[in-house]
Structure 1
Amino acid sequence: MILTVGGIKGGTGKTTIATNLTIWLASQGADVLLVDADEQESASDFTAWRDETTDGQAGYTLVQLNGATVRRQVEQLRPKYDHIIIDTGGRDTASQRAALFASDAYLIPFAPRSYEIWTLSKVLSLLDEIQGTRASPLRVYSFLNKADARGVDNSDATSVLLESEGLNLIDFPIVNRKAFASAASKGLSVFEMTPADEKATTEAERLFTYIMQTQI
């Protein structure tokens, strides 16, 4: 399965989702490739730190790809892995478009703030272009990431996303918890932290399980 984590707004936690999903899949025995197609190379930096802190036992393979060649190279790599996770930048780039042509699913995290929701029209326009030229439909999953523990911003953002046809909102928000940053600082996923943050792991596992089960 090939899944791209993307969007056209920075700061929504795409790399956090991509790396945690990669490690979660690898922990289940899957052979996973993480593709860093983001110019900021955050997934590469995380993996380098993880390799150092785990004595080279990251548990997955990472490659850096960019530009229009992402599609061709990912398609060539598909037979070698159980899953490929592509981390793209928060802009409408050639890398992201190429990734979407090669992918089975598109994961779009949104932070529950008004300026995030303003990007909806641009995301929908990008999806229209991609879906119109693919041989088979791209599965799309949007969800709230870095959500508030409480407050009206979550519900307001959820309402707007539900009204946006084609975004397929999954109402399994991931709250902006310190555990994600703490884990990343140690080269770990939130699932590997000790002591565990049960709320964080439950939220992430619920989201990932839903996405992967609907891909079967």
Structure 2
Amino acid sequence: MRKILVVNSKGGCGKTTVATNLAAALAARGDDVALADADKQKSSLAWTKRRPKDMAAIEGLNWTKADAIGGKLKDMDAVVIDGPGGMRSELAKTLISEASDIVVPVLPSVFDWDATISFLNGISEIKRVRKGKADIHLVANRVTRRSTQVAELERKLAEAGYPVLCRISDRVLYAKHAAAGAGVFDYHDAKSHEIRGQWHPLLQAVD
């Protein structure tokens, strides 16, 4: 079973959007998927409750308490975890220590990359990551044509030893689908198809 943790210490980086769409992508290809919400706001859990019955099933799990971690996963192919903010809590450390993949969304902003590098340095010291048992995947998120700092972001992160895996654009379609408990991998229209290509490097990395 793959345990894919989506986490960053910086708020507003689009963590839940990445987690829900990643879960939808895995479910759309036939995997048995759970979406575990470890964030106290429980946005991912609310998303699973809105999800239409005729879409690929995704089981929502409440992992906001440490004693709930690991429950109901016996028959799952993958669990995507919408992690808590930051790394200071024991809950965050427990999730990181069990993850097979750690996905870190970061915005193309100078105010975000310094905090993200500090966060990455911190999780890199956790035993499981340090020993190479969990891979870190960076996603440049909410990228627009006006995001002039994307190249600089990628250069700074690469210099720190954390290359960016893919860029995901800032599109209103994500919010539209989220309101319906869905993601871009649940639809076959042209706009969703165009966006889905941006996710392929991440999907290949966690496969």
Range class of TM-score, shorter chain: 0.7 to 0.9
1:7-22 matched pairs, under 5 angstroms? 7-22=8-23
* Distance in 2, Cα, partners of 1:133 & 1:161: 17
- Shift of residue 191 of structure 1? 2.1
Q: Normalising by the residue count of structure 2, what TM-score does the alignment of the two structures yield?
A: 0.87
Matching residue of 1:88: 83
1:137-176 deviation line (CA, Å, top 9, x unaligned): 32111120111235421111111111122x3421x20011
Is the aligned partner of 1:107 residue 2:109?
A: no
- For 1:187, give the aligned amino acid: G
Consecutive unaligned residues of structure 1, counting only runs of 5 or more, are none
- For 1:183, give the aligned amino acid: H
- For 1:129, give the aligned amino acid: E
- For 2:204, give the aligned amino acid: Y
Number of residue pairs the alignment of both structures matches: 204
- For 1:149, give the aligned amino acid: R
Matching residue of 1:175: 169
- For 2:15, give the aligned amino acid: K
In structure 1, the residue corresponding to 2:85 is in which secondary structure? coil
1:117-128 matched pairs, under 5 angstroms? 117-128=113-124
8 A Cα contact 2:11 2:85, kept in partner? yes
Question: Once the two structures are aligned, what percentage of the paired residues are identical?
Answer: 24
Consecutive unaligned residues of structure 2, counting only runs of 5 or more, are none
Matching residue of 2:137: 141
* Distance in 2, Cα, partners of 1:34 & 1:133: 22
Matching residue of 2:197: 202
* Distance in 2, Cα, partners of 1:67 & 1:47: 18
Q: Which deviates more from structure 2 when the two are superposed, residues 93-102 or residues 2-11?
A: 93-102
Is the aligned partner of 1:211 residue 2:205?
A: yes
In structure 1, the residue corresponding to 2:47 is in which secondary structure? helix
8 A Cα contact 1:34 1:87, kept in partner? yes
- Shift of residue 183 of structure 1? 1.0
From 146, 149, 153, the counterpart of 1:153: 149
Cα distance change, pair 128–55 in 1 and its aligned pair in 2 (3 A):
closer
